[in-house]
């Protein structure tokens, strides 16, 4: 199934970007890969454009000619505000301004569970729960969610904000058994988000079908995402290799884990 003619993938040099470079290819005619960092040279069906999200002119050139965008680029962990401001706040503004100028119809925004990191692990929240960011990084993703809502309300650019949990080859700790998103489910989520007939401005949790979860995606059924993987297969290994968390540790109390006590 084709989801775009020319699909822009930002953050293409990153952990998820490198995986998606390969897995997204069958879903478009051309995939344009962009990052601030160096990338492998373009192969058949690829274009490579090095660009800094904080540079409006570079972002404008990066977006021109694309009909859909997957925005994975930016700082992906807690960091000093100045750095977050450039890459994630100015960066997402530059991206949507370029999308508006070039008539892009749909964007998939890699948001994060750190938008809601200060909810407790004893709570189940929905796609409509108010943001409770757990740091400058989470705040920047909340800004991206709000900015994309504005660009939908004002200019009609559709966005799906993916509040990704933990997308790695496997869960690294006990918290990630609840937040794990497999690479295959990430691809399913992206394809569903790009191919659903109408998404307007939507928020959905990027999570596999894990036995324990804090996130209720029932308000995002219109996207048609059906996870097929589960962290259950990693449970025994993770429990064997990790200590029992201290129940008084904020990292064990809040959904954002150690991010809630990071000192950038």
Q: Choosing from 137, 151, 205, 254, which is the catalytic residue?
A: 137
Among 21, 36, 175, 201, binds ligand NAI (CB under 6 A): 36
CB-CB neighbours of 94 under 10 Å: 22
For the record, the structure tokens of 44 come out as 């058949």
Q: In the complex with ligand NAI, which residue's Cβ is closer, 152 or 259? A: 259
Q: Do residues 69 and 95 lie in contact, with contact meaning Cβ atoms separated by under 8 Å?
A: yes
CA of residue 136 relative to chain centroid, distance:
16
Contact assessment for residue 24 and residue 66, using Cβ atoms and an 8 Å cutoff? no
Alpha carbons within 13 A on the beta-carbon side of 165: 33
Is 94 a residue that touches ligand NAI (CB under 6 A)?
A: no
180 in active site? no
Contacting residue, 10, 159, 166, 182, with ligand 15L by CB under 6 A: 166
Number of Cβ atoms within 10 Å of the Cβ of 58: 18
Stretch touching ligand 15L by CB under 6 A, among 30-38, 107-115, 121-129, 227-235: 107-115
Q: Is 156 left (phi over 0), alpha (psi -120 to 50) or beta?
A: left
φ/ψ region of 47 (left if φ > 0, alpha if ψ in -120 to 50, else beta) reads beta
CB-nearer residue toward ligand NAI: 5 or 121: 121
Residue 73 binding: pick among ligand NAI, ligand 15L, none (C-beta 5-8 Å cut-off by kind): ligand NAI
Residue 120 DSSP one-character state? B
Axis-axis angle for helices 91-102, 56-63 (nearest 10): 40
**Contact partner, 52, from ligand NAI, ligand 15L, none, Cβ < 5-8 Å per class:** ligand NAI
72 binds ligand NAI (CB under 6 A): yes
Q: How many residues bind ligand 15L (CB under 6 A)?
A: 9
Q: Looking at 5, 29, 40, 77, which residue binds ligand 15L (CB under 6 A)?
A: 77
Binding site for ligand 15L (CB under 6 A): 76-77, 112-114, 166, 176, 179, 257
**Catalytic residue IDs:** 137
Q: Enumerate binding residues for ligand NAI (CB under 6 A).
A: 11, 13-17, 35-37, 52-54, 72-76, 87, 91, 110, 112, 164, 166-168
């Amino acid at each position: 199934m084709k989801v775009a003619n020319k699909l822009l993938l930002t953050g293409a040099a990153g952990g998820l970007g490198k995986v998606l470079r390969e897995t997204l290819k069958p879903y478009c005619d051309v995939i344009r890969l962009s990052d601030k960092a160096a990338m492998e040279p373009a192969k058949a069906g690829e274009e490579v454009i090095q660009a800094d999200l904080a540079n409006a002119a570079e972002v404008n050139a990066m977006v021109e000619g694309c009909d859909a965008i997957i925005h994975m680029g930016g700082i992906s962990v807690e960091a000093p505000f100045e750095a977050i401001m450039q890459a994630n706040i100015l960066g997402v503004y530059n991206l949507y301004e370029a999308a508006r100028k070039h008539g892009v119809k749909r964007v998939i925004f890699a948001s994060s569970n750190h938008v809601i990191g200060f909810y407790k692990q004893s709570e189940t929240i929905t796609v409509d729960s108010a943001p409770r960011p757990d740091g400058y990084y989470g705040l920047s993703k909340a800004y991206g969610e709000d900015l994309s809502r504005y660009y939908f309300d004002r200019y009609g650019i559709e966005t799906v904000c993916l509040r990704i949990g933990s997308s790695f080859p496997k869960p690294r700790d006990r918290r990630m058994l609840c937040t794990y998103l497999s690479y295959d489910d990430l691809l399913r989520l992206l394809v569903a988000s790009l191919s659903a007939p109408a998404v307007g401005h939507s928020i959905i949790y990027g999570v596999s079908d894990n036995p324990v979860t804090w996130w209720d995606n029932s308000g995002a059924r219109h996207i048609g995402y059906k996870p097929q993987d589960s962290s259950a297969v990693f449970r025994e290994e993770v429990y064997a290799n990790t200590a029992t968390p201290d129940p008084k540790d904020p990292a064990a109390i809040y959904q954002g884990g150690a991010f809630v006590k990071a000192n950038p």
